[in-house]
Each structure stands twice: as C-alpha cells, then as structure tokens.
Amino acid sequence: MREAEAAAESIDARLAERLAELRGERGWSLEELADRSGVSRSTLSRVERAEISPTAAMLGKLCTVYERTMSRLLSEVERKQPGVVRAGAQAVWTDPAAGFTRRSVSPPHAGLRAEVIEGVLDPGAVIDYAGPPVPGLEHHVWVLDGAVEITVGDETHALERGDCVRFRLWGSSRYHCPGPGAVRYAVVVVLP
C-alpha cells in the first residue's frame, strides 16, 4: 500500500510541475489562468505547488484551456512511453471527493490519434465537463459493468452493461452513475 501511495504522490508532483510549465510556456500569470479557466488563483497556486490534487472537474477545465485531452496531459507526466503497459503500470488518477477513478489503459504516445480510458464512478457520482479540451473529439463509451447516464449537450443516454454510445463532443457533457452500484466503462477517444 505504501508503494501505491508513493506512486500517486509522485504523479501528483509531476502533474503539478507540468501544469506550472504549461502556464509558463504561455507567459500567463496565475490571474490570467484563473480568468481563462474559472478556477481561483489561490487554488491554481496550490495545485501548481502540489499542495492539493486537482479534482476531475478542475483538471477538465485546465485541459480545455491548454487544449489537451486528460490522457495526453497525464501521459506527459509519465516517465517513459512504452509500447506495452501492464495493468499494474497504467496511470490511475482518482478524485475521491467526486467518486471518480480514471485509468489510462492505452500505452502513452503523443503521436497517436486514439486512446482507451477506463472510468469508474461511485453510485450517485456526477462529473460535469463544461466543454471538451479539443472540440470535435470522437468518443465511444462502452459500459463494462453497472449503469451510467451520459448527457451530451441536451441529449441524455441511459446506458447499461454492454451498451455503447458514440458521439462527437463540441460542448458540455455530464456523466452520472444512478446506482445502485458503481459503473465501470471504457472510453475510446479519437482525435479529429
């Protein structure tokens, strides 16, 4: 257990460093990033110093500002980019407060156009995204266990085990686990 905690802390520290680098590459102050992302300056400062871990919603907002998918951002903090990544070595990011766990299943590679992600939402959990990090991303969401309601724009899809939905994401989206158990799903994201 101690090794897993150390790995999570290491990922959080590298993520904080990468977020600070991205802001610096653009020459933005914390105030400017706060204006662009809708995240307070003080929270951004604490995230960049690795004092707190960003929530899923906050990371989504930052990915939008930096025009990156969450998987791309997380792959940028990985130490190496192997052709095969074993289950125990896949990057896992959790937002315990939101009841959300995200696993990057695909081996990280900045030059490829598709990626596979596993998501797990606890019963009652809701994740809202104001918009995609890259407009027009194609998503395929396949429910592996449980049930989920996915809202894309104004349309809600109630999905159960084995169901799959495909859409291009231009605006807001929402994932909700109605319960009674957790939902586990795979997302294939394809860059335009």
Render pLDDT for 131-170 as a digit per residue (tens, 0 to 9): 887 888 899 999 999 999 999 999 999 999 999 999 999 9
3-state secondary structure of 66: coil
CB-based contacts of 86, cutoff 8 Å, min separation 6 = none
d(CA 115, CA 78): 15
Q: Where are the domains of the chain?
A: 2-75, 90-190
Question: Long-range contact list for 121-125, CB < 8 A, 24+ apart?
Answer: 121/148, 121/175, 121/176, 121/177, 121/182, 121/183, 122/177, 122/182, 123/99, 123/177, 123/178, 123/179, 123/180, 123/181, 123/182, 124/99, 124/177, 124/178, 124/179, 125/98, 125/99, 125/100, 125/176, 125/177
The percentage of residues in the chain with a pLDDT greater than 70, rounded to a whole number, is: 90
Residues 28-55, mean pLDDT to the nearest whole number: 92
Query: Does residue 8 register a pLDDT over 70?
Result: no
pLDDT value of residue 55: 86
pLDDT value of residue 34: 94
Give domain 2-75's CATH architecture: Orthogonal Bundle (1.10)
Query: Does residue 32 register a pLDDT over 90?
Result: yes
Q: Give the mean pLDDT of the chain.
A: 87
Q: What is the pLDDT of residues 179-188, one digit of tens each?
A: 999 999 999 9
Q: What is the pLDDT of residues 75-116, one digit of tens each?
A: 777 655 567 888 988 889 899 999 999 998 988 666 667 889
Give domain 90-190's CATH architecture: Sandwich (2.60)
pLDDT value of residue 75: 74
3-state secondary structure of 5: helix
Query: Does residue 1 register a pLDDT over 50?
Result: no
